[in-house]
Amino acid sequence: MAAISIQYQIKTFTDNLFQEGDASKYAQHLVFADNHIAIVISDTSKKQVMQLSLLFPVGKGVFELSYDELKASELLMNEITKKYASKKVFVSNEACTLVPESLLNIIETEAYYCLTHKMYDNSQVLDCKMNVLKTAALFNVKNELVKLIRFNMPMVDMIHSSLLFIKLIHQQHFPNPASKIHVHVHGHFIEIAVLDEQLKFYNTFAFGNENDITYFILAVAKQMELNQDAEVLLYGEALLMNELQNLLKSYVKSVSFGIKSKSFTYPVSFHQFEEHQYLIESSTLLCEL
């Protein structure tokens, strides 16, 4: 059998109070995103993120990795087998459809999902809910990732990050929330959400450049009857964020970068990246509230 050649680059941000030997008192959250895997360790009793580790596979996207390539990360496999007080897995991809929570028990999830999305090859449709605005998510995941989770963490909850994104927006209690368009920029797709006390709009869009993103945002603003009154908040790690901000300024009332939740405390080392970066990874504690 050929050796697995995949390599991972690793970045770690740690609080100075973190005690690695105290895993049993911490919550562990794993985030699988386009270009990285994140391991988030938190002290739920103190509402404090203790450590964030980011694993970047070299030369491949996370959702392209085989089961054996996922297992090639010694750090990931060591973390998966550790005994934590609680564990959850988040999937952050564009293959997601939101539905009213009340429909989950009566719809054929795969058929409903396929009304708006094409399924990946060798994949399955999963569903989840997270007590946020009575909304549930149907999402598509390749079998290789499902195999990694179910073989090694059989009882863990798998949650789509769209629900966490919506919960983060909702709990920040923005003034005039219905006028705000929240845009989370990922490597190859964006999420757009508009909400006040209810979810008004949510969708994902694949993009090639900042012009594509601007087009989608303006189309949503028109659909929501906001047009130039729209206030856009940008989140994400993409390199084009500054260019996108400058481009949007000509078309909407205001453009700013969003911030992570202020309900928790974070390691001082988080100052090495901007507030709007690693948004989902910084917010996983919300699923414990």
Q: What is the pLDDT of residues 169-209, one digit of tens each?
A: 999 999 999 999 999 999 999 999 999 989 999 999 999 99
Q: What is the mean pLDDT of the chain?
A: 94
Does residue 4 register a pLDDT over 70?
Answer: no
Residue 219 CB coordination number (10 Å): 12
Same fold, 1-172 and 173-257: yes
Region 27-54: what's the mean pLDDT?
A: 97
Topology of domain 1-172, CATH: Nucleotidyltransferase; domain 5 (3.30.420)
Domain 173-257: give its CATH architecture. Answer: 2-Layer Sandwich (3.30)
**Percent of the chain residues topping a pLDDT of 70:** 99
Q: What is the pLDDT of residues 149-175, one digit of tens each?
A: 999 999 999 999 999 999 999 999 999
Region 235-239: what's the mean pLDDT?
A: 91
Q: What is the pLDDT of residues 216-233, one digit of tens each?
A: 999 999 999 998 899 999
Token pair of 173 as six digits: 């209690």
pLDDT at 5: 76
Q: Domain ranges in the chain?
A: 1-172, 173-257
